[in-house]
Amino acid sequence: MFLRYLILFSGLEIEISVNSKNIYPVILFLNKHSLCRFKNMMDIICYDTIGSSYRFGLVYNLLSVQNNMRIRIITKVNENTQLLSLVSLYRSVGWSEREIFDFFGLFFFENKDLRKILTDYGFKGFPLRKDFPLTGYIDIYYDDNQKCICYKNLELSQEYRNFNFTSGWKVNV
């Protein structure tokens, strides 16, 4: 069989774990089959688990209004995996795919509108990845003398600190 899956029933929620290559056929089946009719893609959630062999997890949340059911489809991918876009099935999913591309750097094949959506066009990197520095790479500020927005590279020097984790509080047990 082309599909290795895990189905968990929790109350009325259904959760399916699918290989990333089979995301499109599974969601196509759930959308088109007369007994399923999951016609609404509510959202796509992406999360980063750095250090794992499959670094990113994607959760597709679908809704069938006719059957009053929800389903979650979960897959794990690497940063080099190209996922097939679901814009041909759900037009509203284009926004979510753009957001995931902008923040995590995952590429959705056949999505014709993968532009930056919430970060600047000159922004380098992917801010929701766990390896992205907390302060970014550049500092943006407005200079009153030059009357323009200026960019400068950040130079953060942090001295070595030796932390003392022993508590100064006395605890009576």
List domains and CATH numbers for the chain.
5-121 (3.30.460.80)
- The pLDDT of residue 173 is 57
- The pLDDT of residue 121 is 76
Exposed/middle/buried for 157, CB within 10 Å: 0-12, 13-18, 19+?
Answer: exposed
Two structure tokens written together for 93 = 């999913």
The pTM assigned to this predicted structure is 0.73
CA 42 – CA 90 distance, rounded (Å): 10
- The pLDDT of residue 44 is 96
- The pLDDT of residue 156 is 61
- The pLDDT of residue 132 is 73
Q: Is residue 62 within 8 Å of 74, Cβ to Cβ?
A: no
**Segments of the chain scoring below 50 in pLDDT:** 1-5
Strand order in the sheet with 69-77: 5-10, 13-18, 69-77, 56-64, 40-48
- The pLDDT of residue 3 is 45
The pLDDT tens digits of the residues spanning 13-36 come to 788 999 999 999 999 999 999 888
